[in-house]
Amino acid sequence: MKTIHLILAFAIILPVLTACKKDNNQTEKEPVILEVNEKTAALIVQNNAFGIQFFKEVATQETGNLMLSPLSASVALTMLLNGCQENTYEQIHQMLGYPADMPVDEVNQSYQKLVSQLLAADETINLALSNAVFYRQGFEAKPPFLTAMQTSFDANIQALNFADPQSIETINKWASDNTNAKITKVLEEIDTDAVMFLMNALYFKGEWTKKFDKANTTNQSFTLANGTVVQAPTMNETDMKAIYHSAANWEAVEIPYGRKNFSMVVILPSGQLADFYQSFGSQEWQELTTTLDASNWNEVMVSLPKFKFDYEKFLNDELKQLGMTDAFMPGTANLRNISDGDLYVDFVKQNTFVEVNEEGTEAAAVTTVGINELSMGPMFVANRPFVFAIRERTSNTLLFIGAVSNPLE
């Protein structure tokens, strides 16, 4: 299998671009400039830093194709953040890069405003973001938490009988419905201690501002990390509307979709990916995108392999490395904004799909946060008359036996 590591950036192009003419003489639309205040802008920068570190933690352990959605993970974990207190809250808040002086209600407000603008930025792009809360029937989630999920995240909230296999079908159907059937299964079973699933689904489908000509797609050599050369279907365009930038150990191209609010950034290291990861971080990403934002669109010769794959990853270990530790520890996790029970995060999982071809890109992600309640074992409450006995176990010698009809007598 060929190894293609893709960094997919739903980038906000800040400079106002000069309008130009398409071949059909229709005027290209300029990108919509998203309105963010200073605090939200800082939040985006820090949240992007989480995304890059999140990617690095996974990528350095993988040798095959992978794709993650930092936005989907961030939304699902912010939903979880609303249910946390004390150290558990602080760890997730800090990991996601939220300013120390920004409480969760302000985070929710910034999220709402940003998402509403993202969804409306380009009418030619199919971008959808959906949230859900599925909880076990009989589990008493605190009303303020459910209200926050409904008002701030517009979440579909539903109580299910987790013992019924139909519940798995319901959850998987929600994932499929909200990813255009690109991700059809996120759960295969439900743990007996599970009480809640927090879920985010993100779907993107966009056509290139200038499409690749299918007639130019040919099989071309692609060198794998081990030196093996394979023949991969490769798209070619001699005058792609794009931005190109190069540095000492890599080169990059940014290819826009639609009206250029959204784009794909492809980074090609000069050496091995494993070596590139060592020097690539949030600061390098910020510097790269700043350079791209300050550059002009030009005609660039681009050769890019077509690819299509799905990916699944449990993220517990990577999130622990990033500082989210207490949430996964039964008896230590503090999720008391959800319930007064002893809750903890059982798993955080992401399922993704991506297809890149001559027309454009289709991508989807579902992030699932599974929340369990610490099992206390079978409950025995002697609240009515009972028999008791004392014995020696190895010989089963009965020493005493009696009954209590009234413990007060």
Residue 32 pLDDT grade (very low, low, confident, very high; cuts 50, 70, 90): confident
Per-residue model confidence (pLDDT) at position 18: 28
Among 363, 20, 23, residue whose Cα is nearest residue 206: 363
Q: Which amino acid is at 223?
A: T
For residue range 120-138, list pLDDT tens digits in order: 989 999 999 999 999 999 9
* Length of the chain counted residue by residue: 409
Is residue 392 pLDDT above 60, yes or no?
no
Question: Residue 392 falls within a domain, yes or no?
Answer: no
Q: Are 198 and 269 in contact (CB under 8 A)?
A: no
Per-residue model confidence (pLDDT) at position 83: 96
Per-residue model confidence (pLDDT) at position 162: 93
Residue 36 pLDDT grade (very low, low, confident, very high; cuts 50, 70, 90): confident
Question: Residue 14 falls within a domain, yes or no?
Answer: yes
Joined tokens for residue 140: 């008493």
Joined tokens for residue 88: 């558990």
Question: Residue 62 falls within a domain, yes or no?
Answer: yes
For residue range 212-229, list pLDDT tens digits in order: 999 999 999 898 888 888
Per-residue model confidence (pLDDT) at position 382: 75
Question: Residue 110 falls within a domain, yes or no?
Answer: yes
Per-residue model confidence (pLDDT) at position 401: 61
What CATH number should be reported for the domain holding residue 128? Answer: 3.30.497.10
Pick from 48-62, 84-98, 304-318: least confident: 48-62
Q: Are 337 and 196 in contact (CB under 8 A)?
A: no
Question: Residue 404 falls within a domain, yes or no?
Answer: no
In DSSP terms, 218 is beta-bridged to 234
In whole numbers, what is the pLDDT of the chain averaged over residues?
A: 86
Domain range for 355 is: 1-380
Residue 61 pLDDT grade (very low, low, confident, very high; cuts 50, 70, 90): confident
Joined tokens for residue 181: 């059937």
Classify the phi-psi angles of 246: left when phi > 0, otherwise alpha if psi is within -120 to 50, otherwise beta: beta
Is residue 19 pLDDT above 50, yes or no?
no
Pick from 140-149, 202-211, 245-254, 385-394: least confident: 385-394
Per-residue model confidence (pLDDT) at position 389: 65
Q: Are 185 and 179 in contact (CB under 8 A)?
A: no
Q: Which amino acid is at 41?
A: A
Residue 314 pLDDT grade (very low, low, confident, very high; cuts 50, 70, 90): very high
Question: Residue 25 falls within a domain, yes or no?
Answer: yes
User: What mean pLDDT is predicted for residues 78-88?
Assistant: 96
Is residue 248 pLDDT above 60, yes or no?
yes
Per-residue model confidence (pLDDT) at position 41: 81
Joined tokens for residue 376: 């206390």
For the chain, give the percent of residues with pLDDT over 70: 87
Question: Residue 325 falls within a domain, yes or no?
Answer: yes
Give this prediction's pTM.
Answer: 0.85
Quick one: how far is CA 302 from the chain centroid?
Answer: 29
User: What mean pLDDT is predicted for residues 168-189?
Assistant: 96
Into how many domains does the chain fold? Answer: 1
Among 6, 293, 10, 9, residue whose Cα is nearest residue 127: 10
Helix (H) or strand (E) holding 360: strand 360-373
Is residue 395 pLDDT above 90, yes or no?
no
Question: Residue 141 falls within a domain, yes or no?
Answer: yes
Pick from 7-11, 55-59, 171-175, 315-319: least confident: 7-11
